[in-house]
Amino acid sequence: MPVVIVVGVQWGDEGKGKIVDYLTEPANLVVRFQGGNNAGHTVIVEGQKTALKLIPSGILRPTARCLLAAGVVLDPHALLEEMKSLEDIDIKVTPERFGIAGEVTLILPYHKAIDGERENLRAGGRIGTTRKGIGPAYEDSVSRDAIRMADLFDEKHLRVLVERNVAKKNKYLKSVLECDVQFSPDEIFDELLEVAKTFKPYVTNVSSEVDKAIKADEFVVFEGAQGALLDISHGTYPFVTSSNTVAAYACVSGGFGPKAVDRVLGICKAYSTRVGSGPFPTEDTGADGDTLRDVGKEFGTVTGRPRRCGWFDVKAVQRAVRLNGIDSLIITKLDVLTGFSKLKLGTSYVLDGKKIEDLPVSHLDIERVEAQYEEIDGWQEDITAVRTLEELPSAARAFLDRVSEVVGCEIGGFSVGPDREQTILLDAGLRSYAALK
């Protein structure tokens, strides 16, 4: 049984949640390995829509155990809200079903205030963060100031950490950000004592659980958030998130070695979207972009912002395939392309009149890159009821074949609608591991 890592290969919102839910049927463990509640993973099962932010998308299946690994940043209030909303639909998030690594960094109210204030101050140069405190929390982790889940269980130690952090953040908010918001160490300490009580039964050794599952030959799925082009090291910096989103980080965060990984699946929309600012070479700001947004319902799960839309970017996906070591790509939202007479594939980039092979490093250069397109025939047939490759119209099959050829990666499946049933898995490797439909 395999260790499979599921990652986004574009700018997030590729449909990772839906595919993780699909793969979870035979899974024993589903482990979220980075990001926080900046993510929004929508899963639709028999018409019922659930938006997950922190809790792995595996929670919607009755058996898999779901874990948050060390590299996640966790807002306790957001997690409680999410647990309650799952309980409203009769999914009990018990300590048997859900565990949290003691190493996770907590997102506290001052992180959110700093994130928001910095965005306000950036004015014209905003990153367009989700304002959930993600960046400031990861900063504390790297500077070794973080309050982590495991710190909550020694009151004396916690008090010292809270006093130190609140004093530092209040000073920063006042003197550097020139903002009036100030936090009370007493309030934050009291809140954290409540958090400690609530979450103590959930705290677990994720690395050890993953190790045991691997040794017992169980099926372990690692769920990524965001996408390769939002990766802090390899994305379109500084218009990125604050964590490594690529597959290798599943090992770092999950506390296991890279040799245990069997398969890396790249989730990829049949076109491109981006939320927030930053370069986007195949963006279409005209009528086609509007059609993609309307038909694809491209509005953010977390912030409700309209997503910027554009055509499939072969070079960007090729980069993501390389960064992640993708074995196969699952092409989602193929149904959204129905109705276009011609489809565009951005196949190469030109910068200063010269063809370039990869995105440049500087975002200033990426902004100047011109995408070159190839046009292929579209299809008009409704494909939402398609359940096999053979049932696809020939033009839709030709689209998948061409994507595979130009990107240089196997197509491991595709999806034709948001529901669990509308996923068609082709990846023979994965199908052989487990009783996947």
The residue count for binding ligand GDP (CB under 6 A) is 23
Minimum distance, C-beta of residue 12 to Mg ion, in the bound complex (Å): 6
Residues between 298 and 357 that touch ligand GDP (CB under 6 A): 301, 332-333, 335-336
Q: 141 touches which of ligand GDP, Mg ion, ligand IMO, none (CB within 5 to 8 A by kind)?
A: none
Q: Is 245 in the site for ligand GDP (CB under 6 A)?
A: no
Minimum distance, C-beta of residue 409 to ligand GDP, in the bound complex (Å): 18
Establish whether 41 is a catalytic residue.
yes
Minimum distance, C-beta of residue 142 to ligand GDP, in the bound complex (Å): 25
Q: Is 12 in the site for ligand IMO (CB under 6 A)?
A: yes
Minimum distance, C-beta of residue 116 to ligand IMO, in the bound complex (Å): 10
The pattern of x and - marking residues 398 through 417 that bind ligand GDP according to CB under 6 A reads -----------------xxx
Nearest to 174 by CA among 164, 182, 165, 166: 182
Choice from 5, 13, 223, 333 touching Mg ion (CB under 5 A): 13
Choice from 2, 9, 18, 272 touching ligand GDP (CB under 6 A): 18
Establish whether 111 is a catalytic residue.
no
Peptide linkage before 109 cis (omega within 30 of 0) = no
Q: 128 touches which of ligand GDP, ligand IMO, Mg ion, none (CB within 5 to 8 A by kind)?
A: ligand IMO
Residues between 254 and 283 that touch ligand IMO (CB under 6 A): 275-276
Choice from 50, 57, 130, 422 touching ligand IMO (CB under 6 A): 130
Minimum distance, C-beta of residue 295 to ligand GDP, in the bound complex (Å): 8
Point out the residues that are catalytic.
13, 41
